[in-house]
Chains A and B, each alone.
Chain A
Amino acid sequence: MSFDALVDRHATRLFAMAYIILQDRAAAEDAVQETLVKAWRSMTQLRSPERIEGWLRRVLINACRDQLRQSRRRQKAIDSLVPSGSVSSPDTWIAGSDEIARAMRRLTQEHREVIVLRYYADLSARAIGETLGIPEGTVRSRLHHGLRALRATLDAESRGKS
């Protein structure tokens, strides 16, 4: 498979997942590119081509973590240049004004990862554990606390409105 074919087939869906995890389109693009370049270089040695989706997800999650580490380093410089929340950008359009989307942004990276894999990628706890390389009990524990954190933020927002 050529690199272009790989991009055409997988990039769009990978970008959506990376965007939901990172909430930053530039970082999401970089994560997708890194993922697809790695995948293409290793393609001939992938023994079970039918499992490429799961493998790409694993590589993507790692690429998202790399992006997050880099963005933390960049954040101070960006904060000093960009007035927060004052500019309408594609990011705000994609995320929309949905209160769930806003609450998702307040979750930790670990919580966001398991929630996206569960409720967007529709994976079982066992499959999420295989993707992230963690025990199934840890997946359930993170889902439990992630959902509670989400609910606490939503409750707080709804009280603020009433």
Chain B
Amino acid sequence: MTRDDLEGRLSKSLKVQADRAEAYFLESNALARIRRPPRLSQGDRARRTLFLAAAVVVAAVGLGLWTGSLLPRSHLGIGPSMPPMTAVTPTPANERSPTVTPTHSVAVTRSPTPSGSAEDDVGPGTMVEISSGELVAYTDPNAQSAVVDRLAEGRVVWVSSDRESNGERWLRIQFASFAWDGADLFAWVSAESRLRSVELSCPDEAAVASLGAMSAQEHLNCFGASELTIVGYAAQRSAPGSPYTGTPEWIAQPSSVVLLGAESQQADTGLVALHADPATGVTIPTGTWVEVVGHFDDSAARTCHREPLGDGVSAETSAEQVHHCRQRFVVSEVRVVDAPTFPTPMPDAGRRIPMG
């Protein structure tokens, strides 16, 4: 399914849902319910009673003071009661900014390996696809440990190692957790689950769209430590959150600077997180089009150390901590370039999404 197809279906579905919601709203007397004062729970009623009692006491004291001319009239708030407008600044709950690694490809093609049973093909170092059902990923190689995520059928993950535990074969996988906005997490899955290996075909050239469509491990498999030149729109995102803390911070932690697709400024043309070693003096300007030169598999990754911040994720081995940092894209050069010419108007220039 192309991005345009998905966007079209999405717009249409949301419009249908909205039409139905509006119809329900109008037919169900909801307008009358909304015009009534907000419903109060028993706890709210008790709090309101206490509040009113306190208000009566305060009013009585205030009246006493007023009649004694201790306060000017203007302090009594005489006139229509209108609370001041409060500045509404949304505070996103559980703000977790992403590290970038989508799993489905626009430029990378994967096909099932045409051989043998699943377990013959599925082993350390392979990319595998969940062929049916939902796969539960655990913090440890047993089903009693905490659930890290649930992966839908069709997801492609990388197997880093395997282990026997309680007579069962378990696989250590790395995957982009959508629950963590694309952060690459390691976790355990039972090899009894239905998995099949997939072959990888690397894109001819590195671009934001193709890199954004690949998994972190595919970046390493396809490009190694080669110097890549990519053009895109550099953007700042919220201070990234992470289920891990680590050092060196600039490579072990998610970056707040991303490169968006150069094909257009639309949302789903991929994005790549950019890391820069402060010791090199490289700073990446944001809010502008840039050409960056950089690479995966940076030598600084060898010193990487990461620890989970809570119980909900799996602790990484030393090798995995280093491996994780090898998957970061490290920028060695950057220069500002002119914005490319777009074949279609950009969304910010007033592009309208068809609703029907």
Binding site for B on A (CB under 8 A): 3-4, 7-8, 11-13, 15-17, 19-20, 25, 28-30, 32-34, 36-38, 41-42, 44-46, 55, 58-59, 61-62, 65, 68-69, 90, 93-96, 98, 100-101, 104, 108-111, 115-116, 118-120, 122, 124-126, 131-138, 140-145, 147-156, 159-160
Asked whether, in the complex, the Cβ of B31 is within 8 Å of the Cβ of A11, the reply is yes
Using A98-B16, A119-B14, A145-B182 as known contacts, say yes or no to A152 and B152 having CB atoms under 8 A apart.
yes
Residues of B within 8 A of A45 (CB): 82, 84-85
Residue B338 at the chain A interface, CB threshold 8 Å = no
Contacts between the two chains (Cβ within 8 Å), count: 228
A69: nearest residue on chain B (CB-CB)? B93
B310 proximal to A (CB < 8 A):
no
* Cα A141 to Cα B286 with chains together (Å): 14
CA A28 to CA B33, docked complex, whole Å: 12
Asked if A25 and B10 sit within 8 Å, CB to CB, the answer is no
Q: Return A19 CB to nearest CB of chain B, in Å.
A: 4
Other-chain residue from B30, B95, B270 in contact with A144 (beta carbon distance below 8 A):
B270
**For residue B83, which residues in chain A have a CB less than 8 angstroms away from its CB?**
41-42
Inter-subunit contact A100/B24 (CB<8 Å): no
Q: How far apart sit A24 and B103, CA to CA, in the bound complex (Å)?
A: 31
Q: Bound complex: CA of A3 vs CA of B30, how far in Å?
A: 15
Instruction: Find the B residue at minimum CB distance from A32.
Output: B34
Return 21 A-B CB contacts under 8 Å, by A number. Answer: A3-B35, A12-B26, A12-B31, A16-B17, A20-B17, A45-B84, A46-B85, A93-B24, A95-B20, A108-B178, A110-B94, A110-B96, A122-B352, A131-B90, A135-B237, A137-B236, A137-B260, A141-B98, A141-B100, A149-B178, A155-B1
Binary contact track B151-191/A, C-beta < 8 Å → 1, others 0 = 01111000000000000000000000011011000000000
Would you list the 10 A-B pairs with minimal beta carbon distance, nearest first? A137-B235, A143-B267, A42-B85, A100-B13, A156-B153, A137-B237, A16-B18, A138-B237, A149-B178, A156-B152
Pair A100/B9 contact, Cβ less than 8 Å: yes
Question: A110-B92, A111-B178, A142-B98 known; 9 other A-B pairs, CB under 8 Å?
Answer: A3-B35, A11-B31, A12-B25, A13-B22, A16-B22, A33-B34, A58-B88, A136-B235, A150-B6
Contact of A140 among B16, B25, B267 (CB under 8 A): B267
- Known pairs A20-B18, A120-B14, A140-B260; A109 contacts B24 (CB<8 A): no
How far, in whole Å, are A61 and B30 apart by their CA atoms in the complex?
A: 19
What chain A residues lie within 8 Å of B82 (beta carbons)? Answer: 41-42, 44-45
The distance in angstroms between the C-alpha atoms of A134 and B97, with both chains bound, is: 11
Residues of A within 8 A of B22 (CB): 12-13, 15-16
- CA–CA, A46 to B86, complex, Å? 10
Q: Give min CB distance, B301 to chain A, whole Å.
A: 23
Contact check, A152 vs B155: say whether CB atoms are below 8 A apart. Answer: yes
B11 partner residues in chain A, CB cutoff 8 A: 119-120
Contact of B102 among A125, A126, A145 (CB under 8 A): A145
**A20's contact among B7, B21, B24, by CB below 8 Å, is which?**
B21
Cβ of B154 and Cβ of A152 under 8 Å apart? yes
Q: Is the CB of A152 within 8 A of B84?
A: no
Within 8 A of A (CB), among B333-348: 347-348
List B contacts of A152 (CB < 8 A). Answer: 103-104, 152, 154-155, 178
CA distance in complex: A140, B26 (Å):
34
Q: Distance (Å) between the CB of B162 and the closest chain A CB? A: 24
How far apart are the CA atoms of A59 and B86 in the complex, in Å?
10
B92 CB contact (under 8 Å) in A8, A16, A134: A134
B15 contacts chain A at the CB level, 8 A cutoff: yes
Most buried by A among B15, B17, B258: B17
State whether A15 and B30 are in contact (beta carbons under 8 Å apart), knowing that A115-B10, A141-B97 are contacts in the complex.
Answer: yes
